Amino acid sequence: MAQVTLNTLRKVYPNGFEAVKPASFTIEKGEFVVLVGPSGCGKSTMLRMIAGLEDITQGDLQIGDRIVNDVDPADRDIAMVFQNYALYPHMTVRKNIGYGLKNRKIAKDVIDQKVTDAANLLNLNDYLDRKPSQLSGGQRQRVAMGRAIVRDPSLFLFDEPLSNLDAKLRNQMRIEIKALQRRLGVTSVYVTHDQVEAMTMADRIIVMNGGEIEQIGTPAQVYHSPASTFVASFMGAPPMNLLDALVAENAAMIGGQTIAQFAGHGPVTLGIRPEDILPDPNGDFEINVTLIEELGAHRILHATWAGQTIMVSVAKDVTAETGTMHVAIKSDALSFFDAQTGRRL
Amino acid sequence: MKRAGFSIRWLPILLLLPQLSIILIFFYWPAAHAVRSSFFLQDPFGFGETFVGLKNYTSLLKSSAYLRSAQFTVIFTLMVTALSLSLALLLAVKADKVIKGAKTYRTFLMWVYAVAPPVAGVIGLVLFDQSWGPLKEFFGLFGWDFRLGVDYFDTAFAMVVISVWKQLPVNFIFFLSGLQSIPKSVREAALIDNRSASGRFWDVTFPLLAPTAFFLLIINITYALFDTFGIIDTVVKGEPSNNPMTLVYRVYVDGFRGNDLGGSSAQSVVLMVLVLALTVFQFRMVERRIHYT
Ligand SMILES: Nc1ncnc2c1ncn2[C@@H]1O[C@H](COP(=O)(O)OP(=O)(O)O)[C@@H](O)[C@H]1O
Ligand SMILES: [Mg+2]
Q: Each residue of B5-16: pLDDT tens digit?
A: 667 788 888 899
- Is the CB of residue A36 below 6 angstroms from any atom belonging to ligand 1? no
Cα gap A155→A77, rounded to integer Å: 7
Q: How far is A99 from chain B (nearest CA, A)?
A: 7
pLDDT of residue A97: 94
Same domain, A321 and A189: no
- Which residue among B99, B193, B292 sits closest to A89, beta carbon to beta carbon? B292
Q: For residue A344, tell me if it sits in a domain.
A: no
Other beta carbons within 10 angstroms of residue A193's beta carbon come to: 17
Same domain, A204 and A58: yes
List B101's β-bridge partners, or say none: none
Compute the average pLDDT of residues B119-144: 81
Q: What is the pLDDT of residues A42-79, one digit of tens each?
A: 999 999 999 999 999 999 999 988 999 999 999 999 99
Q: For residue A155, tell me if it sits in a domain.
A: yes
For helices B117-128 and B134-141, give the axis angle rounded to 10 degrees.
Answer: 50
Cα gap B198→A255, rounded to integer Å: 70
CATH number for the domain harbouring residue A266: 2.40.50.140
- Model confidence at B1, pLDDT cuts 50, 70, 90, reads very low
- How many angstroms does the Cα of residue A177 sit away from the middle of ligand 1? 26
With left for phi above 0 and alpha for psi between -120 and 50, is residue A341 left, alpha or beta? alpha
pLDDT of residue B262: 85
Domain end point (choices A234, A257, A289): A234
- Which residue among B183, B195, B292 sits closest to A90, beta carbon to beta carbon? B292
Residue with CA nearest ligand 1 atom 4: A13
* Structural domain count, chain A: 2
Pocket test for ligand 1, best of A9, A11, A12, A13 (most atoms within 8 A of CB): A13
**DSSP character string of A249-265:** TTEEEETTEEEEE--S-
> Which ligand is the nearest neighbour of the Cα of A207?
1
pLDDT of residue B100: 66
Contact A192, A39 (CB under 8 A): no
Contact A313, A299 (CB under 8 A): yes
Pairing of the two strands A298-305 and A285-294: antiparallel
E strand or H helix at B92? helix B64-97
- Which residue among A53, A79, A99 sits closest to B191, beta carbon to beta carbon? A53
- How many angstroms does the Cα of residue A19 sit away from the middle of ligand 1? 6
pLDDT of residue A79: 93
Cα gap A17→A57, rounded to integer Å: 11
Pairing of the two strands A308-315 and A298-305: antiparallel
The percent of chain A in helix, strand and coil, each rounded to the nearest 5, is 30, 35, 35
A13 touches chain B (CB under 8 A): no
Cα gap B51→B104, rounded to integer Å: 60
Least confident among B21-30, B65-74, B111-120: B111-120
Query: pTM (2 decimals)?
Result: 0.82
Q: How far is B99 from chain A (nearest CA, A)?
A: 11
Does pLDDT of B238 surpass 70? no
Q: For residue A109, tell me if it sits in a domain.
A: yes
pLDDT of residue A6: 92
Cα gap B293→A89, rounded to integer Å: 7
User: Positive or negative CA dihedral for B5, B8, B10, B11?
Assistant: negative
Classify burial at A278, counting beta carbons within 10 Å of its beta carbon; exposed 0-12, middle 13-18, buried 19 or more: middle
CATH number for the domain harbouring residue A111: 3.40.50.300
A72 touches chain B (CB under 8 A): yes
Compute the average pLDDT of residues B146-175: 87
Q: How far is B292 from chain A (nearest CA, A)?
A: 6
Same domain, A63 and A120: yes
Same domain, A252 and A228: no
Same domain, A224 and A279: no
pLDDT of residue A320: 82
- Is the CB of residue A209 below 6 angstroms from any atom belonging to ligand 1? no
Q: Residues in chain A with pLDDT < 50?
A: none
Same domain, A121 and A229: yes
- Is the CB of residue A45 below 6 angstroms from any atom belonging to ligand 1? yes
> Which phi and psi (to 5°) does residue A165 adopt?
-100, 160
Q: For residue A209, tell me if it sits in a domain.
A: yes
- How many angstroms does the Cα of residue A40 sit away from the middle of ligand 2? 7
Residue with CA nearest ligand 1 atom 20: A40
Q: For residue A345, tell me if it sits in a domain.
A: no
Percentage with pLDDT > 90 across chain B: 23
Classify burial at A12, counting beta carbons within 10 Å of its beta carbon; exposed 0-12, middle 13-18, buried 19 or more: middle
| Residue A207, helix vs strand vs coil | strand
Report the residue of chain B nearest A88, measured CA to CA: B186
pLDDT of residue B6: 67
Q: How far is B213 from chain A (nearest CA, A)?
A: 15
Same domain, A184 and A151: yes
Pairing of the two strands A187-192 and A155-159: parallel
Which of A50, A90, A157 should we substitute to test contact with B (largest number of B Cβ atoms within 10 Å)?
A: A90
Report the residue of chain A nearest B198, measured CA to CA: A103
The CA-atom distances, in angstroms, between B194 and each of A286, A290, B103 are 65, 59, 30
Domain end point (choices A234, A250, A268): A234
Q: For residue A265, tell me if it sits in a domain.
A: yes
Same domain, A280 and A214: no
- Which residue among B193, B196, B207 sits closest to A100, beta carbon to beta carbon? B193
Percentage with pLDDT > 70 across chain A: 100
CB contact under 8 A, B188 and A131: no
Domain that holds residue A12: 4-234
CB contact under 8 A, A90 and B290: yes
Cβ density class B45-59: b for 16+ within 10 Å, e for less: eeeeeeeeeebbbee
Which residues, 6 or more positions from B60, have their beta carbon under 8 angstroms from its beta carbon? B66, B263, B266, B267, B270
Which residues, 6 or more positions from A172, have their beta carbon under 8 angstroms from its beta carbon? A138
Is the bond preceding residue B169 a cis peptide, omega within 30 degrees?
A: no
Same domain, A211 and A302: no
Report the residue of chain B nearest A48, measured CA to CA: B188
- Is the CB of residue A39 below 6 angstroms from any atom belonging to ligand 1? yes
| Nearest atom of ligand 1 to the alpha carbon of A208 | 22
List chain B residues with CB under 8 Å of A103: 193-196, 199
Which of B98, B184, B193 should we substitute to test contact with A (largest number of A Cβ atoms within 10 Å)?
A: B193
Domain end point (choices A202, A234, A266): A234
Same domain, A135 and A186: yes
Same domain, A216 and A186: yes
CB contact under 8 A, A84 and B185: yes
CB contact under 8 A, B193 and A89: no
Residue with CA nearest ligand 1 atom 26: A40
Cα gap A123→A67, rounded to integer Å: 37
pLDDT of residue A211: 92
Question: In degrees, to the nearest 5, what angle opens at C-alpha B10 toward C-alphas B4 and B14?
Answer: 100
Q: For residue A53, tell me if it sits in a domain.
A: yes
CB contact under 8 A, B290 and A53: no
Does pLDDT of B110 surpass 70? yes
The CA-atom distances, in angstroms, between B42 and each of B31, B48, B53, B257, B261 are 17, 7, 13, 14, 6
Determine the number of helices (DSSP H) and then strands (DSSP E) in chain A.
8, 20
User: B49-289 is classed in which CATH architecture?
Assistant: Orthogonal Bundle (1.10)
Q: For residue A202, tell me if it sits in a domain.
A: yes
Same domain, A50 and A185: yes
